[in-house]
Structure formats: C-alpha cells, structure tokens
Structure 1
C-alpha cells in the first residue's frame, strides 16, 4: 500500500495507569482495568511492573489460581520462575514471553529469581471464548531468541510476539481472538504505519519516551495507553516520535460475550464463577 493512501485510526481516549499492589505485595501499574473490558474485548487487563527496588517485587506472585482466560507475560528485564500444578516449570528471562492458557483451571506461582536489579515487564490477560473456557490448561515459554523480528520499510525494528504483520508471522497465533501483539522501537524522528485487522479492538501503550499516534498526531506520553477508534475505513495506525519511543501495539478480535469476573476467574455467568470458586476450594483444579 502506498503510504499516502494509508488511513490511520485516531486516538479515542488516553488512559494513565493506576498504581496497585498485587500478588504478595508487588507494586505495578494497572493500565487496562475492568471498566475497559468490553471496549477492548477480548483483553481483560494489562499491568506494567517496573522497579529496581527489590522491595517492590521480591515477594513475587505465590501460588494462585486462574480459570477461563489466557495470561501473557512479557519480560523486558529480570527473571521470573514459573511453576504450576500441571507439572510445568520454566524460567522467563529478559526479552522472553510466557503464554499460559488457564482453561478449566490452573494454580501457578511466578517468583523472581533475582535479589537486585531492574524487574520490568507486562502481563496481559486475553479472554477465552465460551466454548474454550473449560479447555485443557496449557503453558509455553518463548525465549527472546525465538520471537520473530523484522525491519519495516520505514527502517524500524519490530518484535512480533503474536499474530501477523507485514507478511511476517509471530511467535504465537491463537484462534477466535486472533491477537496481534508487537513491540516497536521508534528512533528519534522515526515514523511507522502498522496495519490492524478491520474489526479488531486495539490500543497502543508507550512505555518509553513519547509518541504521536494517529493521523492527527495525538501525543501519548510514557506510561499512557491510547485506545484506538474502530473506524471501519481505517487501515491501521500511524506512529511518530520526535525523540524516540518504545511502545506496544495490541489488537484482537472481540468475542462479544458476557464477562463475569471474580478476581482470577473470568467466565460468562455468575453461576460459572461460583462453580470455579467451589472447584478451587475443593481441590478440583
């Protein structure tokens, strides 16, 4: 496509993360919250954790359950050990991704394997369709070296965690939600156009620097999320940066199903959530 013919989605709204404490006291910024779950369906939550103070992360996330969705943990800096009740164990290291399907139920822990230094990364929750919520749990560790990268026509480095972009296939492809998840580095005075499938809900999260997002050039600062409008005639999104930026682009096909959530259980009805709680309490995970 000729860049002059490219029509960008615009920024519908800006969201700044809320400081929260999760797990055994890990401090993080919660960017995608429950009030945005229907607007950004199939995505349920996005957290960024970033600290070089061990007191903020050392306790980690001891054993806890999940049912009904997938967790995607992307580590930029640091090391995290995963263990679960299905017998899986793996070490998530800098640049790597852990893609876990909770399905009918899994109990796992995520504990730092470092006592100092920077711990920085993201956890994204992706909903599962009703027909897969009780599927067999699954787990995959994807080291940095196995995540595809390519250089765009504009000369930018793009890391493709999930989905397809510009003819390239990511490390993960999922049915139903068809997520696109990429990490883009923009140099000073850099620009990029990225295609987004029509009908997908999408957002951009800037985690370093500042970016101008959309055809009108909405300024998005570090640790802000730009929710992209669902313009039916748009091809994707235009990105620019004066001083350089690093950002995530995340998009997915909406499920358009009821969302019933109680903490780590995400189902389609209250009865299903109550069943999940009962199954967990009675050792049926």
Structure 2
C-alpha cells in the first residue's frame, strides 16, 4: 500500500459565470492534463438570491459531460431536446453532452435563501465526442450512503466503494465520486485504484491529509501504514487537494470534523482543444462546432 503524495493544495478562486452567478472555481481553463479526465470544478453557493438567481441561461455543450450535485436549494433545468426538471437538495445530474446540446440551469434558494451545489466537467474520449446526448437524473434518496463504525459517512454517487455502487453508470472515465464526512478527531484511510487521477475538495470543517513525499507540513504522527509521513493542515473553506500516484488517501479530521468530495477517474490522455463549454481533440473540430452553431446544425437529430 502506498499513500498518494500531495502534489498541490490551492483555494478555489472567486469568479462569475452564467448571467452573473457568483461562485468559486477550484480548477478549470488551465492545464487539462493536471486532472485528466476532469476539466473544471465549480463550487456555487450563496446566502442571498442576488448571488445566484440570474442563473445559467441557454448555452451549448459538446464533447464533455457535466456533473451537477446540489446540496441546498434547487436547480431547474431545460434543454433543446425538450427535457426539463428540477434537481432538489441531495440530487445529482450527470449530463453527457456528446454531439451537442443547448441547455439552461436556473438555481433557486431554500426557505432561508441558501443555495449550494457543485459542477464538475468530465472529458469524453474521441470515440465518444459525438455520441448521442443523454441524462442521468438521480434523486438524493437513490444515492447509497455507507456509515462506518467510527461515524464516517460516505455517499457513493458513482463507482464502487465499501460494498456499495453509485447509481450513475456508463461513464467513459470510469469515475469514482464520493461525498465523505469524517467525524471530529477520526483518522481515516480511503483506497483509490492506482491508475486513477484523484483530487479532494474540502468544503466543510477542517482536517489534515497525509503526504508521503513532502517534508513540509505539520507533523502529527510518525507512521501511517508503516511509512513516515507528514500531515498537511487544511481549512475546509473551499480547498482543492491534488494527489499524485498511489492507492491510499489518509485524512485526520479536525475538532469540528471534515467533509470533502473525493473524486477520481481514469485519464484519457488525448489532445484537448477547448473553447468554453465545447471541448474537442483538434482545432479543426472546434471550428466545425463553431460553424455548426452559426449554421443551426449544432444539434444532431434525435430518433
């Protein structure tokens, strides 16, 4: 067993998207090989409707998948294929844009005016860039949750974990998407297949992740699984942790516990040509997508 080294930690940066939604971006529009097969990750949360109510009006996607996970409030969605619905708190939507889709997402707050959700973009391999679009809308009640003896709770959105399998299936990158809560003072180790690229996103509480390779950090213990390691203290306020190669991630929860997303996937390792919400393999394919948008041929007829 080998602990994954921490390659980088960084706070999510405030930005604005859609028609004026305030959010924090953990990564995106940078080096697409860093977290291949994942391209972008946004944390959109607000206490006031003015932070989010303008929403994300009609816009195109091609060549990617978008994964929306709602924790508080709701998101109404509609698309050019005639699909529509509402994602309530706890729900997940996994949208495979494939050959092309136009859609909109309009957030609403809960009774207290609060809205909180995440959106992750996953790349598609060249063989699936022009596949037919599809949706997987998953209600919170359908997402299995595993509770360990020490109180650790894991919601399994996709992939297999601790004997449970998430309800989202058929995804090209074979991802594992976990919502993890570790109680105060508990140290926990999670297995991740070595071939996957992996990151954690801490959004509540605080903790420290084991780092088997770096001499920096706060020394909390001498050994973890027979290895001398350091533990890096991390705030829970929107912190990204990017891991290197290995098969274990270890976290020590702080005094208030820690909650984070633990996400991994098989790298695609193909060229990336990227323009906003359209991600292809070549510049020529991007030009074709732009031409299709101008000519009204962006959407493939559905049968």
Q: Deviations over 1:219-253 (max 9, x none)?
A: 222211010011xxx32211111221110001000
Q: Is the 8 A contact 1:154 1:192 kept in 2?
A: no
Q: Quick one: which of 103, 123, 127 aligns to 1:127?
A: 123
TM-score (norm 2): 0.88
State the aligned residue count: 277
Question: Which runs of 5 or more structure 2 residues have no equivalent in the other structure?
Answer: 212-229
Relative to structure 2, which stretch is displaced further, 164-173 or 124-133? Answer: 164-173
Q: Is the 8 A contact 2:151 2:182 kept in 1?
A: no
The separation in 1 between residues aligned to 2:119 and 2:30, in whole angstroms, is: 18
The separation in 2 between residues aligned to 1:122 and 1:246, in whole angstroms, is: 14
Give SS of 2:287's match: helix
Partner of 2:193: 197
Q: Quick one: which of 248, 251, 267 aligns to 2:264?
A: 251
Give SS of 1:35's match: coil
Relative to structure 2, which stretch is displaced further, 152-161 or 186-195? Answer: 152-161
Q: Quick one: which of 3, 6, 14 aligns to 1:19?
A: 14
Aligned residues: CA RMSD: 1.4
TM-score (norm 1): 0.93
- Residue 128 of structure 1 and its aligned partner are, at CA, apart by 0.5
Mapping of 1:75-90 within 5 angstroms?
75-90=70-85
Question: Which runs of 5 or more structure 1 residues have no equivalent in the other structure?
Answer: 1-5
- Residue 45 of structure 1 and its aligned partner are, at CA, apart by 0.1
Give SS of 1:58's match: coil
- Residue 129 of structure 1 and its aligned partner are, at CA, apart by 0.6
**Alignment pair present for 1:235 and 2:247:** yes
The separation in 1 between residues aligned to 2:16 and 2:254, in whole angstroms, is: 34
The separation in 2 between residues aligned to 1:224 and 1:175, in whole angstroms, is: 26
Q: Tell me: CA distance 1:194–1:37, structure 2 relative to 1, closer, same or farther (3 Å).
A: same
Q: Deviations over 1:145-190 (max 9, x none)?
A: 0011112354311001111112221121334411010000111112
**Alignment pair present for 1:224 and 2:239:** yes
The separation in 1 between residues aligned to 2:122 and 2:95, in whole angstroms, is: 10
Q: Is the 8 A contact 1:10 1:213 kept in 2?
A: no
Give SS of 1:214's match: strand
**Alignment pair present for 1:181 and 2:177:** yes
- Residue 88 of structure 1 and its aligned partner are, at CA, apart by 0.9
Q: Is the 8 A contact 2:198 2:243 kept in 1?
A: yes
The separation in 1 between residues aligned to 2:68 and 2:103, in whole angstroms, is: 13
Partner of 1:3: none
The separation in 1 between residues aligned to 2:51 and 2:16, in whole angstroms, is: 9
Give SS of 1:28's match: strand
